[in-house]
Amino acid sequence: MHAPTATLTFRNRNYTFDPLQPLDISLPLAAGPENVNCFWAEPVQVETITVGDFVGSVAAGGATNYQRVHLTPHGNGTHTECYGHISPDPAATLDQCLRRFLFVAQVVTVAPRRQENGDLMVMANDVLAKVEGTHLPEALVLRTLPNSEAKRTAHYSGTNPAYLEPALAQFLAENQIEHLLLDLPSVDREEDGGALLAHRAFWQYPAAVRTNATITELIFVPDAVADGLFLLNLQVTSLVLDASPSRPVLYALAPAAAAPAPTVFFSEAPH
């Protein structure tokens, strides 16, 4: 039995992918402290609802499970945010900013560099050296080194984790790369006095805001996923907030012949 093959055309190049081979790069949310966490967010809490004689737990004798979840999108698990994260605009919510969900993405692996002040920073030149200049993707997925399973349960609060050189965020904005995904808690320093230089550069805020651009933090890209081009399916919850828990899923892209079989077809949306 042949594996199903879908096709897409991007920047006048043809690619194929297998829609039955998803690569989930999100970190799931679960109750308790054994989850990735940052910015002093409380652990995810799941509470069973009881109303009168009703108990929302089958294990406790109820007919159905019915639970309340307490979470902080920016601090618990993989999440996607829009420019509303740094703007007072009430219309700057993710459900309004993110209207497409399929993008061509490039996975790039880099090692942050130690700065004179001791900070670890992902440098623009290290990333640019791995991004193909004439065929830039719509989304960039950054995997930082060292990479280990420990990222799945890391507690980053108070550790001053690695962050991005603002020049990298500026490059992404200038080259219309609209979606940035990374395995760090933030594109900026944990405590920077509110400067938020990379956030502001990526969204070009406030002078020329890129309202459709998003940042997804706290992903995890396993070592088995090679650097290269992928189809990205960026799944989010439709919350009227600046951020949402999210589930980015990748599908490996392979070069196709000039005239691929018309199984499924995606084409780059006009800018």
pLDDT digits (tens, 9 = 90+) for 176-209: 999 999 999 999 999 999 999 999 999 999 999 9
> What is the DSSP code (8-state) at residue 14?
E
- Separation between Cα atoms, residue 251 and residue 61, nearest integer Å: 42
Q: What is the DSSP string of 141-191?
A: EEEESS--GGGGS-B-TTS---EE-HHHHHHHHHTT--EEEESSS-SS-SS
**pTM metric for this prediction:** 0.93
Report the side by side order of strands in the sheet with 254-255.
Answer: 254-255, 13-17, 6-10, 265-267
Which CATH number describes the domain made up of 6-27+81-255? 3.50.30.50
Q: Where are the domains of the chain?
A: 6-27+81-255
Residues of the chain with pLDDT under 70: 1-3, 258-271
Instruction: Read off the pLDDT of residues 25-58 as tens digits, 9 standing for 90 and up.
Output: 999 899 999 999 999 999 999 999 999 999 999 9
The pLDDT value recorded for residue 258 is 59
The pLDDT value recorded for residue 266 is 47
